[in-house]
Structure 1
Amino acid sequence: MRTKTNDGRFFEDYAVGQVINHAVPRTVKMGERALYHMLYPARHALYSSDQFAQTCGLPFSPLDDMIAFHVVFGKTVPDVSLNAIANLGYAEGRWHLPVWPGDTLRSQSEVIGVKQNSNGKSGVVWVRTTGLNQHDETVMDYVRWVMVRKRDPGADAPEPVVPDLAKVVAPDTLVIPRGLDFTNYDFTLAGEPHRWGDYAVGETIDHVDGVTIEEAEHMMATRLWQNTAKVHFDTSARPDGSRLIYGGHVISMARALSFNGLANAQMIVGLNGGAHANPCVSGDTVRAWSEVLDKAETSAPGVGAIRLRLVATKGGTPFELRGEDGKYLPDVLLDLDYWALMPL
């Protein structure tokens, strides 16, 4: 009897150069914004107020950059990471266009690397994913790599191909939204007085607050973003019987917590790299700290770019990342390197 159901791809189903067009396009509106602001304590003014966005040169408030990321990412899961053991990292990410309420997003991925693990039971797959809107314009693109189970551990290993990825998105390639102008920026309404010039490379910021991850909110978020990876839903998919918290949920939670100290880091425009260092499960309390890695000027009036390391932990000491062995400390959940736009 032939089955019509989709068991997802396994490691041996991927080949370098393969292009996957992901189902199903999704139109995003104000409902996604309301749910996003409910799930995460998101307060950045540009994404909260049409009036604030208009004073910054935009026609109205776009949807949060991370909404675009979650939707584009979620579309790839049935084809890329349904049988994943772990999502390992990100690189070369850029946001090309704001996402406006009413836009329809779809995703396309190209396999750019494969490498079987030494245990012969799994392998790592690298894909470059592009998010497109209803006009076939690129909204964002990024590379991620995933550890995926093999269907048949005895299957021959493919010739390994490991892509050479840039460690940093060059600041002169960052895309500034058309019309963005921070010369009339209202620091009082934004929530903090700190501008681009107030931050120094090497500075670290403890974001102070913490949020305990609840099972119900995690499941709501994972369903909202249509992330169908088994490890997030099915307790039999992991040896310890727990459901793994979707890594993007940790990213958005940490980004929201970073408001306290980085309220004026308004728009994310580049993703240089990232790693989900340790698993996050229900009951973990997420805290965050940031380090300023670099700064750059832009061509937009009053707009500077700031490169930030955002680290999410589950209770570790702020500003401690790795042990003497060079490995991430066990309390570190996320190590994310990104570019944001901030008023000069």
Structure 2
Amino acid sequence: MRVFKYLFFALLFLVIAFYAYGFFFLEDKVQVSRSITIDRPAKMVFKTVNSMHTFNQWSPWAKLDPDASYQYEGPEKGVGSKMSWSGNKEVGSGHQTIIESVPYERIKAELYFDGQGDDPAWATYQIKAMGDSTEVSWIFDADFKGDILGRYFGMMMDGMLGPQYELGLQNLKTLVEAKPVYDFSGFSIENVSSQNVLYITASGNTNDDLSGVIGEAYGKITAFMAANDINFGGMPLAITRSWENSVWEFDAAIPVDLTSIEGETGEIQLGQTYAGKAVKYIQKGSYDQGEASYALLDAYIAENELQRNGNPWEVYANDPETVPETEILTYIYQPIK
């Protein structure tokens, strides 16, 4: 009996010591943090992280359970973007929602893990611009609010979660650095005024040389202007109507200082160009760059989350017969909302 008595008091002492150490020496609040440098601008990193709907593109847990189920709610990006998951023992189940989103600086998500109480944890992504590179810190915070067992669990948190955060950040780095970096130095957003133009609708296959089609259309307009003593009100332009299956339908147009025309005009019509906000891109050099320039325009609109508001047009800002090919200027405009 004496042995059992000693064992009882020894066990009691251990339990008291266990709780006393947890109460007096362990912290309620636990933080795990890992960082990485990504060789891309902060804007690109922010756009990738600022969505729970695309979290699994770089999540360290996505491959741990290929059969896990995911559900997405709220907006695709920013505050309210939410992901719920349910998987095996390694993945668990729960949900996380973006509750704070400061462009190019910080994103904070609130996490709830099923079976681990009603209190949330938080994941913060600190984004620090460093020129063309970005330092990203992934920070996990939890508050056990006096839960002694939770405090002991918190002691192991860095060893359990830290390696996963390192893997996730490496996945993020690989994902973002695989995306192209564009030179948007030739772009601006402007408010443009409407112009009166004489125009002819024409079309041609972009796989062929369109110079003949374009030249013929402008030739008809300039001949009409000369016959009717109409002055140029600006440089020639081409307004896209459609561009499908390599067929470009466009209005070849020349600005004029008139508000009406009388008599027989044939194919020639008088109209007005778009007025309002537009993206402007200055293309310098050969007209053969057109396809690449429009691809760059698409990338600029996507990068800046702009919405189109009509068809684009081109202004041929100088005469290719009077300047070297390298100095040819084409202004490409895309109306936006």
Q: What is the TM-score when the length of structure 2 is the normalising length? A: 0.22
Q: What is the TM-score when the length of structure 1 is the normalising length? A: 0.22
* Higher-helix-fraction structure: 2
| Structure showing greater Rg | 2
Higher relative contact order (CA 8 A, sep 6+): 1
